[in-house]
Structure 1
């Protein structure tokens, strides 16, 4: 059969719907079986699945996923590619399944426990996307709430098996998860309470009284399960936890490939991050001087901007309205100029999340677009003031031209991409790299002409560059560079949590509670945070190479043409993307 590693390119835009191939059939079968194994994947993607159920987080559940990958790879061996779409599918599936199998063999799925992307959070967050339009939807919602105890029990079993293999979590992450579980257990603080209190039907009608009673009883069961999870994390897992936040180079390299879909030179990337950080600092110094006069430091400028009431909105409803207005304006301005935005993607719904973690995130539209793409802001309790100069770039990151155009476009390409390509493949370095690329693109296109807005964009870019240095520095136990050692109270030595905190505070203009959460995230999710800036770097390199190749071939070398080619690939590993765009 044709070697899937052979050169392939971005397929030409088809004049008519593409005829599904044998490779597509393998990918479709995988997506169908994955939706059966993972109700949460089915719910998120809008594919048929067991509505009202949750995933199996036990060792048996992870083994079933590994078996499915093995069976799918065997089927790919007999499916000959017929075009570039097939060749990208084969390369992407082999790359993704390969790193997922390595992680599974190393027990990383069993030991998953951190403050942002482990079962403690994913079980909770899946309810945000549950349909809530009909009485039947709410009945399924209650069923899913009653599945929470079993899902958490499976997670507990996996953690125990991992611990028996010597794969113990970091104490910092255990503490964070205990606190989150306790919050979810409390009636007033639980997102389950926020979701079901005041529940209505799509037409505004009230739920039947019996259903309301059932929902409240199911929510009590789910909250009780989180209370139990907090207890067994404290009694069973915490005593086994390690005080070491760092992982070794071998584990870090594996995580890095998971989040990037490529191998990078970690030491070169670390030094690049330091250089990138210095360049951003110089640009911010120039803006500080232009805003408030020569001699104004970046920290002083950020403090004055943060105190400027004219650059803030107050209250969550005002925040939501500002997000929506900013998003709508960006889509209107970009459509037809830098992108051709199909009608279903011209709608992005901005919402305040029922949780209060501080995160800002995007959720994809359902397969049929009955649920639109959504940007969510999880506002910490007590937070009332929001700096528009700092967050305008966030709207571009999560919305258009960031995640909304990227994820929404691949969801829309039903006639070209199979279900796995549209819903089942997500590579952080590709997706987050694109979103960070989008932030800088909007500045370059003139959407950040206000120096304060540009300072906000650079503040975002600075944080992402700092995370490259911090993440690699801590987890590879590097010597502290001069700029870190010179910070008050740090000094020479190896990177650790204390020096990382000093470094983060020196390079991010955000509140302490947010930064504490962020630091715990970097320490507990190795390799993910650097994937943003590293992904942006590789996106910009791929763009420059693609435009140069287009010019040499006499083809359309406009940014708009590049964006169309790139977004039609969907989310793939960065090696696969570069190969496809360069061909």
Structure 2
């Protein structure tokens, strides 16, 4: 039974109209966004990744901001929309003016990965679905050529990602294009729900797969021959570029030096709490010994990726069933969350939201590094809460569901990492608060994840701004090499995952700290509201999630000035 009916419909305002028109423009400019949202009509297309295409996104933002000028908010929803659009789109134009959007390349979230990853979300049940996949595969070469054009343009202007990132993407592109790589497997394993593909669609898919493989070979050759020789060896991006990136991921302006100092203190605090939990697992035990005890417990181990997937699904379903209607409003349509093993082996765990009509549910993906087939539940319980409920799934699906309250941009477009990832970390701590992590092992696992996020604040800001290392962890100025040793001491993950995360932080400045800094800002907002008479936690969560994923400065203004 649905725990809460959707809010009563509110009339569309002029500000809503601008937001919706901007959303429609984005869908037309970015067909992959249409696929993500489940909007039909763009199934075989890609966006224009060339300089002209990038400029088109900037022009769309300028037009939307111009259309907003002089409009007066009609209600609180309008006030937040206006605040959020001016902040997000204004910052987008600042980044565009810097020229770094033409140079977008890293190991996790750049066109090199995005062009491939959209295939993960495409339906495969029918012949037409596979015809769409074949058509999009045929268009991979055009997308790659546009991307190369932008990278070349940025290079000529002196903007190139660090050599470390270029080398990694060369390897990724080569693996995508391999005879046993992603596109070959995509074509080789194709079948409809009713059985094998027809001859015509099969031929188109094989040809499309070959075209996509050739395009990624072309990308690898360009990166190796033209971009790598121009790529700087230095990973640190410096204070000016970092400050802009931090704003982009947080939707808030923070004092980077104060935040770095807080990160050092927070890391120390978490380690002290871990030492207390270790003693609860075994009196006198240190953190390492306590983890060995947990790892040796057969009841806490999983063998194989299918066992991992089944465990994820069972834990996720249990959280949804027990939290719905008690601590959160979770309508029936949001209760389905699929847990899947990702088709890649690059490392990382991530969530993809539902389609706009919920015909495709939210999904939790686990990208298991090659060769890894043993997992520990105590270390991963909190991750399921982070990616699912009450984490990303509850947050993203709520915004998608609230169509009577929020315009299309607020529901499906505006995503701010500090808000979203900060909420997910807040959700981890909340599950401890609600009693779901009382088991010392699960508590230790949650602290491991919190420790990792605090360490990332220290590493990311310290390395990119080249600050002084804390005495506990070393001496002198941060370098990537010192940072790797530091991460190895503080991130309880496999070597393959560590290598992936290390490269991610270096190539995606400002993103990793947004989790823990976002959590800090969420908790500060809650604490300010808790100090007011009549505070109710469930009502706070409902109200906050109904705002959608705006920047954290916008969220603060929305929640603290709305009472």
Q: Tell which deviates more after alignment, 255-264 or 538-547.
A: 538-547
Q: Which TM-score applies when normalising by structure 1?
A: 0.94
Cα-Cα RMSD: 1.3
Find out whether 1:219 has 2:209 as its counterpart: yes
- Give the structure 1 partner of residue 511 of structure 2: 528
Contact 1:35 1:49 in 2 (8 A): no
Pick the aligned partner of 1:293 from 283, 291, 301: 283
Which whole-Å deviations, capped at 9, do the CAs of 1:408-463 have from their partners, x for residues lacking one?
A: 00000111111111111100000000001001111111111110111000000000
Matches within 5 A, 1:472-511: 472-485=461-474, 492-511=475-494
Q: Aligned equivalents of 2:7 and 2:516: distance in 1? A: 36
Quote the residue 1:489 is aligned against.
none
Offset of 1:198 from its aligned partner? Answer: 2.9
Q: For residues 46-75 of structure 1, what are the alpha-carbon distances to aligned partners after superposition, in whole Å with 9 as ceiling and x for unaligned?
A: 234521111211100110001111111111
Q: Which moved more, 1:300-309 or 1:571-580?
A: 300-309
Which runs of no fewer than 5 residues in structure 1 stay unpaired? 1-12, 486-491
2:17 is aligned to 25
Give the Å deviation of 1:248. 1.2
Alignment of 1:566-581 (within 5 A): 566-581=544-559
Checking the alignment, whether the CA contact within 8 Å between 2:466 and 2:478 is kept in structure 1 is: yes
Distance of aligned partners of 1:161 and 1:470 in 2 relative to their CA distance in 1, 3 Å threshold: same
CA shift at 1:78, angstroms? 4.2
Distance, in Å, in 1 between the alignment partners of 2:224 and 2:407 is 44
Equivalence for 1:565: 543
Distance 2:333 2:107 in 1: 34
SS at match of 2:364: strand
Cα deviation per residue 1:387-428 (whole Å; 9 max; x = unaligned)?
Answer: 111111000000000000000000001111111111111000
Match of residue 228 from structure 1: 218
| Structure 2 spans left out of the alignment, 5+ residues | none
Task: Please show how residues 260-279 of structure 1 align to structure 2 within 5 Å.
Answer: 260-279=250-269
1:429 partnered with 2:418: yes
Match in the other structure for 1:407: 396
In structure 1, which of residues 191, 216, 230 is the aligned counterpart of residue 182 of structure 2?
A: 191
Answer whether contact 1:36 1:49 (CA < 8 A) is retained. Answer: no
1:95-148, Cα deviation, whole Å (9 max, x unpaired): 001111111111111111110111111111111111222222211111111111
User: TM-score, normalized by length of structure 2?
Assistant: 0.97
Q: Is 1:436–1:536's contact at 8 Å kept on the other side of the alignment?
A: yes
Contact 1:113 1:174 in 2 (8 A): yes
Deviations 1:497-541 (A, max 9, x none): 110001001111111111111011001100000000000000011
Equivalent residue in structure 2 for 1:446, among 428, 431, 435: 435
Q: Which residue does 2:84 correspond to in 1?
A: 92
2:351 counterpart SS class: strand
Q: Would you say the 8 A contact 1:248–1:476 is kept in 2? A: yes
Residue 165 of structure 2: which of 173, 192, 203 is its match? Answer: 173
Q: What residue number does 1:347 align with?
A: 336
What is the CA deviation profile of residues 281-315 of structure 1, one whole-angstrom value per residue up to 9, with x for unaligned ones? 01111111221330x22123223423433211111
Find the residue that maps to 2:57 and give its secondary structure. Answer: helix
C-alpha contact 1:37 1:55 (8 A) present in aligned 2: yes
Matched residues in 2 for 1:418 and 1:84: separation?
A: 13
The 1:523–1:34 alpha-carbon spacing in structure 2 relative to 1, beyond 3 Å, is: same
Determine whether 1:362 maps to 2:367. Answer: no
- The verdict on how the C-alpha distance between 1:186 and 1:441 changes in structure 2, with shifts beyond 3 A counting, is same
Cα shift at 1:180: 0.6
Runs of 4+ in 1 over 6 A off after TM superposition: none
What is the distance in 2 between the residues matched to 1:242 and 1:428? 27
Match of 1:140 among 132, 145, 162: 132
Q: How many residues align?
A: 557
| Of 133-142 and 426-435, the range deviating more from structure 2 | 133-142
Greater Cα shift, 422-431 or 45-54: 45-54
The separation in 1 between residues aligned to 2:482 and 2:80, in whole angstroms, is 43
Matching of residue 540 in structure 1 with residue 523 in structure 2: yes
Structure 2 residue 380 is matched with structure 1 residue 391:
yes
Paired residue for 1:257?
247
- Return the alpha-carbon distance in structure 1 between the equivalents of residues 185 and 391 of structure 2: 29
Deviations 1:172-217 (A, max 9, x none): 10111011111101121x2233334332324x33321221222122
